[in-house]
Amino acid sequence: MPADTPDIFTSLFQSIGLSKSKAAEAAKNAKSATILRNLILSHDLASESDPLGEKRAVLIAALAVQLAKAPNVDDAQQGYIVKAICERSSIAARFFESHSLPVNEAEFNETCGVASELVISGVKNIPSLRWANPLEIKNAVERVFTQTLGAKEAGKPKAKESKKDTGVSTTSGKSDNTAAQVSDAVQGAKSRKVVFEEGFLGALHKPGENPQIKPDLRDKHLAVTGGRVYTRFPPEPNGYLHIGHCKAIFVNFGYAAHHGGRTYLRFDDTNPEKEEARYFTSIIEVVRWLGYEPWKITYSSDYFDQLYELAIELIKRDKAYVCHCSQEQMKADRGEKVAAPRACIHRDRPIEESLAEFQKMKDGFYRPKEAFLRMKQDLTDPNPKMWDLTAYRVLDASHHRTRDKWKIYPTYDYTHCLVDSFENISHSLCTTEFVTSRQSYEWLCDALEVYKPRQSEFGRLNVTGTINSKRKILQLVNQGYVTGWDDPRLHTVIALRRRGVPPEAILSFVSTLGVSTAETNIQIGRFDQAVRQFLEGTAPRLLMVLSPLKVTIENLPEDYVLMVEKPLHPKVPELGTSIIPFTRTIYIDADDFRLEDSKDYFRLTPGKTVGLFQAPYPITCTSYKTDPTTGEVTELVCRLEEKGTYKTENIYPMGRRTCTVW
Ligand code: ATP
Ligand code: MG
């Protein structure tokens, strides 16, 4: 018998990453608890600073349960399995789901892809593939393996089949199921970790590695950030966020959090004509609802003064000029109808003149579209984003924060990179439509010799079968096709929330799609499926009777009360229980009763005995009352059967629909 008390076991088990309740459960059985203790101690698995993580810990606990039933597994085998769980938990989990102990190592290696790993390292050593992307090699090799040997998961259904065939009870499979359940729950967390460490995000530079025009800019940047990752989520406050934005939120907040960094929520409020206060409030709420807390909430308009000063500096450096061309003229010059862009007549005006004109723009001398400040970029560059983009325009609009202070407003192209620079952003993560903008982003930072963040672009999330554009959703709202931004048919975040979609389900969906430079096009059905899957493992089951039919149990006294405790989830005991009073009067759903019985009807009829879902005893319908005018059944009179007289599952086979106790 172990000398340790269950309490000591519990804290030891928690030290490998088991939750308190799982640790307590594992400590209950003395035999498997002792084995688990020995596994932990002999393999040095306990660590406060670096626990195994819940998924691996659950597998180790499940292994201890299995070992208790298979005493002939030697130490070497045990060590082998523990190592496999620690190093390759998900594939090991798959293997142990379908194989009992002791383990056949060759079979295990094949299932777990050791063979494919060897091939991958072999292929990587082929000289002509020396510079090939390792991820692509891995994917290509795995594709060949899958085509030749079938999918890795192929073992799973087989395991289920064999259980069914042999009629093995589910009790022994219970701990496996629980392990699988828990591993499903942590799957989201795991895929999040992988997203941030592999592929596109894994390949991003380290803070400070982004090149600067002058070395001291890097030093100053690192002095401010302490070498931390700084990101920002920069929505334009011109609408409510939709599911696509969740990817950008996840990427920006998640990446920084994963590296112990900081994320700004920055409102890109440079277009006062389209912005509304309600959008700001909702965006903050949505970010918080998704579980992220911005390090700081800022506004591009916080920097209007600094941006203006830098515009003057840009003109002084002969890198910007005031232009009075019409928009048609500008378009024509920018090459729509000519082979190459043309310099406009204002491009080479004296610096002093541009300074004076810019002052006039600021003072309200010009009406909208009569004057622009344009950057003097490179008209010989093939990238249109280098063809003298507009930096400032005149707008006759009151700004929600700066009111009427400004007559001129900076553009996205001018503002975004500079505010990223002011905020010392280490990774400016945006979607791929901004790839061509990166050159002008970098040009402007260098032209002004300010810290230059590195912009990196990932693929947008397009959910097909719904609308993912604020502008288009606004049209639907304005034209009355939907009742508002939270109409449940939309995929705005507030609509999803209204439908009961939990934030974790959205994040889990986004994280499992991964992040790369490719656009992700996903059918809306896959999103719904991901939400259902998430709810399946996490939502407490509550019962209600939609169309109640009164049942009086005649052989129970008036004051009879039996408190029935029922689990809130059939497979996740952690979700707890609820207590329902079982009394002389209960209600079943009207659909669960009819007058005529038949072979394939398993619910209640006159004279028939059925079990009640999660209630202790079955009932027999002895008579019923009807409404004298409509003939509708209004009440059933039933008899409660004696304990043990009936086995409810004989009457109501598992998996059939049962009557529901109210
Ligand atoms: P919309 O077209 O709906 O107006 P937007 O790109 O104009 O979207 P912004 O408010 O400018 O919306 O976006 C804030 C951030 O969210 C940007 O960095 C943008 O790249 C990102 N984002 C917007 N839509 C998506 C999407 N579908 N997938 C991933 N990121 C997105
Ligand atoms: Mg936009």
Report pLDDT digits (tens) over 251-260.
Answer: 999 999 999 9
How confident is the model at residue 75, as a pLDDT? 75
The verdict on residue 130 lying in a domain is: no
Who has greater pLDDT, 610 or 99?
610
State whether the beta carbon of 360 lies less than 6 angstroms from ligand 1: no
State whether the beta carbon of 110 lies less than 6 angstroms from ligand 1: no
* Mean pLDDT for all residues in the chain: 83
State whether the beta carbon of 247 lies less than 6 angstroms from ligand 1: yes
SS3 state of residue 363: coil
How confident is the model at residue 150, as a pLDDT? 40
pLDDT band of 442, cuts 50, 70, 90:
very high
Q: Phi-psi region for residue 540, left (φ > 0), alpha (ψ -120 to 50) or beta?
A: beta
- Contact (CB, 8 A) for 73 and 67: yes
Residue 175 pLDDT greater than 70, yes or no: no
Minimal-distance CA residue to ligand 1 atom 23:
245
Distance between Cα 395 and ligand 1 center (Å): 24
Residue 342 pLDDT greater than 80, yes or no: yes
Q: Give me 662's structure tokens.
A: 């109210």
- Cβ neighbors of 623 (< 8 A, separation 6 or more) are 606, 636, 637
How confident is the model at residue 128, as a pLDDT? 53
Q: What's the rounded Cα separation, in Å, for the pair 635 and 640?
A: 16
Q: What's the rounded Cα separation, in Å, for the pair 94 and 152?
A: 9
Same domain, 534 and 558: no
Query: Domain limits at 333?
Result: 151-464+500-538
Residue 145 pLDDT greater than 90, yes or no: no
State whether the beta carbon of 245 lies less than 6 angstroms from ligand 1: yes
Same domain, 524 and 571: no
pLDDT band of 339, cuts 50, 70, 90:
low
Q: Give me 547's structure tokens.
A: 């169309």
Which residue in 456, 449, 459 sits closest to 427, CA to CA?
456
Distance between Cα 236 and ligand 2 center (Å): 6
The verdict on residue 23 lying in a domain is: yes
Who has greater pLDDT, 334 or 468?
468
Residue percentage of the chain with pLDDT more than 70? 78
pLDDT band of 113, cuts 50, 70, 90:
very low
Q: What's the rounded Cα separation, in Å, for the pair 275 and 465?
A: 27
- What are 556-599's pLDDT values in tens digits? 999 999 888 889 998 999 999 998 888 999 999 999 999 999 99
Distance between Cα 592 and ligand 2 center (Å): 53
- Contact (CB, 8 A) for 442 and 428: no
Ligand 1 atom at minimal distance to the Cα of residue 252: 18
What angle is formed at CA 476 by the lines to CA 470 and CA 477, rounded to 5 degrees?
Answer: 85
Same domain, 396 and 288: yes
Residue 659 pLDDT greater than 50, yes or no: no
How confident is the model at residue 431, as a pLDDT? 97
Same domain, 422 and 564: no
pLDDT band of 526, cuts 50, 70, 90:
very high
Minimal-distance CA residue to ligand 1 atom 2:
469
Q: Which residues pair with 626 in a beta bridge?
A: 633
Same domain, 406 and 446: yes
Query: Which ligand is closest in space to the CA of residue 236?
Result: 1
SS3 state of residue 267: strand
Counting other chains too, the contacts that 503-507 makes at CB distance below 8 Å and 24 or more residues apart are 503/289, 503/290, 503/291, 504/188, 504/291, 504/534, 504/538, 505/530, 505/531, 505/534, 505/535, 506/243, 506/246, 506/290, 506/531, 507/188, 507/192, 507/246, 507/250, 507/290, 507/291
Sheet holding 408-410, edge to edge: 320-323, 372-375, 390-394, 408-410
- What are 30-76's pLDDT values in tens digits? 888 888 888 887 777 876 566 677 888 888 888 888 888 776 777 77
Same domain, 211 and 307: yes
State whether the beta carbon of 65 lies less than 6 angstroms from ligand 1: no
State whether the beta carbon of 461 lies less than 6 angstroms from ligand 1: yes
How confident is the model at residue 538, as a pLDDT? 93
State whether the beta carbon of 520 lies less than 6 angstroms from ligand 1: no
Q: Give me 615's structure tokens.
A: 């209630």
Among 87, 113, 139, identify where a domain stops. Answer: 113
- Exposure string for 196-231, b = 16+ CB within 10 A, e = fewer: beeebbeebeebeebebeeeebbeebbeebeebbbb
How confident is the model at residue 123, as a pLDDT? 53
Which residue in 241, 229, 320, 219 sits closest to 286, CA to CA?
241
Query: Which ligand is closest in space to the CA of residue 522?
Result: 1
The two beta strands, 296-299 and 262-267, are parallel
Same domain, 312 and 336: yes
Split into its structural domains, the chain has a count of: 3
Same domain, 506 and 554: no
Distance between Cα 124 and ligand 2 center (Å): 41
Distance between Cα 435 and ligand 2 center (Å): 14
Q: Which residue has the tokens 């309600």?
A: 278
State whether the beta carbon of 254 lies less than 6 angstroms from ligand 1: no
- When mean pLDDT is compared across 93-107, 154-168, 449-463, 528-542, the lowest value belongs to 154-168
How confident is the model at residue 324, as a pLDDT? 98
The verdict on residue 646 lying in a domain is: yes
pLDDT band of 654, cuts 50, 70, 90:
very low
State whether the beta carbon of 459 lies less than 6 angstroms from ligand 1: no
How confident is the model at residue 12, as a pLDDT? 80
Distance between Cα 267 and ligand 1 center (Å): 12
Distance between Cα 430 and ligand 1 center (Å): 8
How confident is the model at residue 67, as a pLDDT? 82
pLDDT band of 92, cuts 50, 70, 90:
low
Q: What is the mean pLDDT of residues 273-279?
A: 89
Same domain, 561 and 515: no
Residue percentage of the chain with pLDDT more than 90? 60
- What are 472-500's pLDDT values in tens digits? 999 999 999 999 999 999 999 999 999 99
Ligand 1 atom at minimal distance to the Cα of residue 472: 3
The verdict on residue 90 lying in a domain is: yes
Minimal-distance CA residue to ligand 1 atom 30:
248
Query: Which ligand is closest in space to the CA of residue 245?
Result: 1
The verdict on residue 124 lying in a domain is: no
Residues with CB under 5 A from ligand 2 (ion): 236
Minimal-distance CA residue to ligand 1 atom 10:
235
Active site residues: 236, 460, 470
Check residue 219 and report its DSSP letter.
H
Who has greater pLDDT, 430 or 653?
430
Q: What is the mean pLDDT of residues 280-294?
A: 97
- When mean pLDDT is compared across 20-29, 328-337, 624-633, the lowest value belongs to 328-337
Check residue 400 and report its DSSP letter.
T
Ligand 1 atom at minimal distance to the Cα of residue 236: 10
Residue 181 pLDDT greater than 90, yes or no: no
- Contact (CB, 8 A) for 376 and 394: no
Ligand 1 atom at minimal distance to the Cα of residue 249: 16
How confident is the model at residue 277, as a pLDDT? 87
Same domain, 198 and 339: yes
Same domain, 39 and 81: yes
Q: Is the peptide bond between 606 and the residue preceding it cis, with omega within 30 degrees of 0?
A: no
How confident is the model at residue 332, as a pLDDT? 85
Which residue in 241, 294, 188 sits closest to 510, CA to CA?
188
Counting other chains too, the contacts that 68-75 makes at CB distance below 8 Å and 24 or more residues apart are 68/29, 68/31, 68/32, 68/35, 69/101, 69/172, 70/100, 70/101, 70/102, 72/102, 73/101, 73/102, 73/103, 75/42
Q: What is the mean pLDDT of residues 646-653?
A: 36
List the CATH number of the domain containing 587.
2.40.240.10
Query: Which ligand is closest in space to the CA of residue 493?
Result: 1
Q: What's the rounded Cα separation, in Å, for the pair 537 and 558?
A: 39
Minimal-distance CA residue to ligand 1 atom 18:
430
Q: What's the rounded Cα separation, in Å, for the pair 611 and 604?
A: 9
- What are 155-169's pLDDT values in tens digits? 222 233 333 322 222
